[in-house]
Structure 1
Amino acid sequence: MRLGKSMARGKGARLRQVIIAAALLGVLCVPAHAEARDISRDTLAPDDGWAAAEGGTTGGAAADDAHVFTVTDRAGLVRALGGGSDTPKIIKIAGTVDANADDDGHHLDCADYATDGYGLKKYLAAYDPRTWGSAKPSGEQEEARQASAAKQAERIVLPVGSNTTIVGLGPGAVLKGASLQIKNADNVIVRNLDLRDAYDCFPVWQPNTGGLGDWKTAYDNIWLTGATHVWIDHITASDKGHPDADEPTYFARNYLRHDGLLDITNGSDLVTVSWSRFADHDKAMLIGNSDSATGDRGKLRVTLHHNEFESVVQRAPRVRFGQVYVYDNRYEVPEGTEYRYSMGVSTESGVYAENNAFHTPGHVEAADLVKSWNGTALHQTGTLFNGYPVDLLAIYNAYNSGSERDLTADVGWTPTLHGKIDSAEAADREVARGAGAGRIP
């Protein structure tokens, strides 16, 4: 039977719509090249940095099917983490998970956490240095601030136990407002995840910090404390949503809301951070938290490779005690942004820097890239500064001659665990294309 022309046109149009819809569905549902395979059981390559030493890092690769979770909200993520359980587990994050949410998934803001009569205006009035002086805050408003901060911490601090893999599904997996804390845990992998805005609703005023006083915040996007064998790969970490630059000034100091993007402290050891992007932040990465933490000697062994630090003011990284290999990283300082330094060389640190590329505006000089606090050594080679090779060690010593102790090139160790080392020029291009969440090949 022949179809009428109008019916044929109608069926043809519907067929085209089906074909187009199927094509669009394929575009939307077939993962980008970064997610074309299941990465959840990937383990760290046997030569990929310090986390490959002493048994390597496998995360939750041994998890049985009952401990593979796909989560879409805070409640599901908390259940999957199991309070920091050491049972092998794989946690896949789909979409955006907001840590500032109640058990029913409703968003919580700072007013929801405030308790016991806390109010910012009252806090500022109580501890104004002109009337309070330089003593540490105490009394009613400080107690109310602490109680309010505890309510927020109960929501946003997420403990990660041993033998855990956390991965983002697809190019749009976001964990917002959370502080992932890998505490006294071993064998953890975090990959392909956009971690943003670990926002502290209740910073504390510290009158004696830095001579002028300062605001101290509580949360890092990821905090390693006493953690071992940790691989962090293809993450993006930033303040996106609430940049500190937009915050007001109180007591002549910026009212900071964020601490570090990734801090590695308190005896953490055997860590590899690769192909990740750290952006739009003040203090990006602290390795070793105190000059007096002598128990960190022989620990804090960290490899940083093929990472991008963009619009980062300082600590990229700052190192105490650790043997830290910093190679094939890209540093971008946009025009008009604040900048202090990139590599901080502190007490008993051994930083081995190789083939890193820096892009800065005209007011930032090569001598600004390194800063030392009681540091003695920095090994560097293959550095590119705005496209030109430079010797950071020679420049640092020449610039600081007579004012600070010269740094030597002998850091006391030589890296052996690493993959292919690219030239700074090649790494610069590859990192710009491939670093960050959603870009796993």
Structure 2
Amino acid sequence: MTHIPGKRLPRPGPVLAAVTALAATFGLGLAGEAKAAAPRAATPAKAAGPFDDDRPHGFASLAGGTTGGAGGRVVTVTDQASLARYASAPEPYVIRVAGSIAVEPFGSDIVVASDKTIVGVGDTGEIVHGELHLNPGTHNVVIRNLTIRDSYVEGDWDGKTTDFDAIQMDGADHVWIDHNRFTHMGDGLLDIRKDSQYVTVSWNRFTHHNKALGIGWTSDVRTQITIDHNWFSGTKQRNPSADNCAYAHLYNNYLSDQVADGDPVWTYGNWSRGRTRMVIENSYYDGVRHPYQADATAELVQRGSILRNTSGRTDEHGTAFDPHAFYDYRPDPAAAVPALVKRFSGPQQRIGTVLRVPGTDNGYITAASTWKGDPYGFLITDSRIVSDAPAGSVRPGRPRHPGGEPDAVGQVLVRNTELSAAVKSAPWTGMSGFSWKDARFAEYRDHGAGGTADRPQLGEADAPSYAVAGYLRGTYGWAPYARR
């Protein structure tokens, strides 16, 4: 069998900017690609938490990694037309799905093109009776924190009359499917087909369905996939079924409440089929018929899993492969899996509300455009500007002159504020041929690792005039802070 080279790649830190008392929008950079290398000996690994810094792990992290729409425009959609337009666009996008989107006609596809992140906002994002479809050649896609549900056709339990999956990909590469809930669809819940490569499926819920997760539909042996911390509940088969996978790594999955319809063959947990090499680690099987099985032509290594009230096949043969030769990971104890997965799998309120995107040039805190006759523009006061971006990668700001208007002279004051090390120590930055020195940028008594006297400072004599009252009063005399 052809050996597929891979290596976990070093990544720049992600960015999260949180500004108390001011909502500031950052321009976000895209991580550069790196070439894959040969497998190597394992190094000490940091345990992957349920959110893992919003970066993929496992096979989706290899050969350049999976960044989705990082570096592209961030948009929020609430209707099918907008979702379909941005998802199929040639440019990178981070697409936030807010609320429930009902797809028409029933069971229709929404095509997802390369370089996209589709993420539910909190736990509200839903796609109802529609499919996300990745065509051959699609690459670099992240789908997170969505519920995709209800394209089931009554009476078609075997899914023979429709092909209404939740997600289907054909010949795609570098795809991360994370923290979603898939339920009650028309065929499979998640179909990974036709030599798709570098895929990670993590922290999802597969519920109330016949066929949960199928991998294969090919005679080639190319697919590399990591499947971890998923909860298969109320499903019958394909949990997963992995056919002709070069490498299938399953760990810390929880299988429970398996459908019992009297079928002795097609009711099962994990199946290593064809020429698949499968490794199963520290998973938990509760009330499952045929927890894990393998064709005579396939290989399956299992270690550390817990079987409770199970029956039927538990096949193990061959040596499969060593996942540590490809990437670092540390499985949770099998006994902890049910509690972990019940709590943290599926859509989460904290995901999609603030986006963390890898990068080394993480944009600007402000891009102010203030009319030259107005003394007050933006005030950031008594706040904390924090980030887990690399040190010196976030710029304080730049002047914005819409349409080249010279009289739009930005005014920004940052005072009594803690600045993290992510903020550049260098002065402010020019834009579109306009120098920052002609704008009105200043700081006053800022502190923290990103604070520096090298940038323009507001004098003590002027400080009383540029406090909260002055900015609120402006030229209109507004004084909501005053007692009446």
Q: TM-score, normalised by structure 1?
A: 0.62
Corresponding residue number in structure 1 for 2:308: 386
After superposition, residues 349-368 of structure 1 pair within 5 angstroms as 349-360=276-287, 364=288, 368=290
Identity %: 30
Amino acid at match of 2:241: R
1:87 aligns with 2:91: yes
Q: Could you give the per-residue CA deviations for residues 9-60 of structure 1, whole angstroms, max 9, x where no partner exists? A: xxxxxxxxxxxxxxxxxxxxxxxxxxxxx9x999987771000000111000
Whether contact under 8 Å (2:159, 2:187) holds in the other structure is no
Give the deviation of 1:373 after TM superposition.
4.1
1:202 positional shift: 11
Equivalent residue number for residue 317 of structure 1 = 240
Q: Aligned to 1:74, which of 65, 80, 86?
A: 80
Q: 1:74 to 1:335 in 2, by over 3 A?
A: closer
Q: What is the CA deviation profile of residues 331-384 of structure 1, one whole-angstrom value per residue up to 9, with x for unaligned ones?
A: 112686677101112100011100000111xxx55xx21244454311100110
Runs of 4+ in 1 over 4 A off after TM superposition: 40-47, 200-203, 334-339
- Whole-angstrom distance in 2 between the partners of 1:337 and 1:433: 28
| Deviation, structure 1 residue 73 | 1.2
CA RMSD of aligned residues (A): 3.2
Select 2:182's aligned residue among 222, 229, 237. Answer: 237
Deviation, structure 1 residue 85: 2.7
Q: Is the 8 A contact 1:434 1:440 kept in 2?
A: no
Structure 1: gaps spanning 5 or more residues: 1-37, 102-151, 204-212, 240-256, 398-406
Q: Which residue of 1 aligns with 2:198?
A: 270
- The residue that corresponds to 1:332 in the other structure is 256
Question: Structure 1 residues 337, 426: closer, same or farther in 2, change over 3 A?
Answer: farther
Query: For the Cα contact (< 8 Å) 1:44–1:231, is it kept in 2?
Result: no
Contact (CA 8 Å) 2:159, 2:186: kept in 1 or not?
no
Equivalent AA in structure 1 for residue 252 of structure 2: D
Distance 1:433 1:338 in 2: 31
1:69–1:202 distance in 2 versus 1, CA, 3 Å: farther
* Larger Rg belongs to: 2
Counterpart AA for 2:140:
N
Match 1:191 to one of 144, 154, 166: 144
Task: Give SS of 1:283's match.
Answer: strand
Cα deviation for residue 185 of structure 1 reads 0.7
What secondary structure does 1:50 align onto?
helix
CA shift in 2, pair 1:321/1:269, >3 Å: same
Question: Does the 8 Å contact 1:200/1:219 carry over to 2?
Answer: no
Cα distance, 1:219 vs. partner? 1.9
Residue in 2 that maps onto 1:96:
100
Structure 1 residue 427 corresponds to structure 2 residue 311: no
- Secondary structure, counterpart of 1:80 in structure 2: helix
Output the CA distance in 2 between the equivalents of 1:335 and 1:226: 31
Code of the residue aligned with 2:251 in structure 1: it is: Y
CA distance in 2, matches of 1:266, 1:277: 23
CA 1:214–1:91 in 2, change beyond 3 Å: closer, same or farther?
Answer: closer
Amino acid at match of 1:99: V
Q: C-alpha displacement at 1:100, in angstroms?
A: 2.1
Q: 2:256 is aligned with what amino acid?
A: E
Distance 1:427 1:168, change over 3 A: same
**Whole-Å separation in 2 of the counterparts to 1:348 and 1:320:** 7
The letter of the residue matching 2:317 is: T
SS of residue in 2 equivalent to 1:76: helix
Taking the aligned partners of 1:414 and 1:178, their CA distance within structure 2 comes to 35
2:67 counterpart residue number: 58
For the Cα contact (< 8 Å) 1:264–1:288, is it kept in 2?
Answer: yes
Superposed displacement of residue 269, structure 1: 0.3
TM norm structure 2: 0.56
Contact 2:122 2:349 in 1 (8 A): no
Q: Distance in 2 between matches of 1:430 and 1:324?
A: 22
Change (3 A) 1:427 1:162: same
Structure 1 position 427, deviation (Å): 2.3
Change (3 A) 1:258 1:373: farther
Contact 1:52 1:270 in 2 (8 A): yes
Shift of residue 414 of structure 1?
A: 3.5
Which has more strand, going by share of residues? 2
Query: 2:118 aligns to what?
Result: 166
Q: Kindly tell me: are residues 167 and 385 of structure 1, through their superposed partners in 2, closer, same or farther at Cα, counting changes over 3 Å?
A: same
1:112 match: none
Q: Distance in 2 between matches of 1:73 and 1:350?
A: 42
Contact in 2 for aligned 1:345/1:375 (Cα 8 Å): no
Gaps of 5+ in 2: 1-25, 30-50, 352-484
Work out the CA distance in 2 between the residues paired with 1:439 and 1:259: 28
What's the CA shift for 1:408?
1.3
5 Å-filtered alignment, 1:104-253, equals 156-183=108-135, 184-199=137-152, 215-239=160-184
The answer to whether 1:436 aligns with 2:335 is no
**Which residue type is aligned with residue 165 of structure 1?**
T
Cα distance in 2 for partners of 1:335, 1:197 equals 18
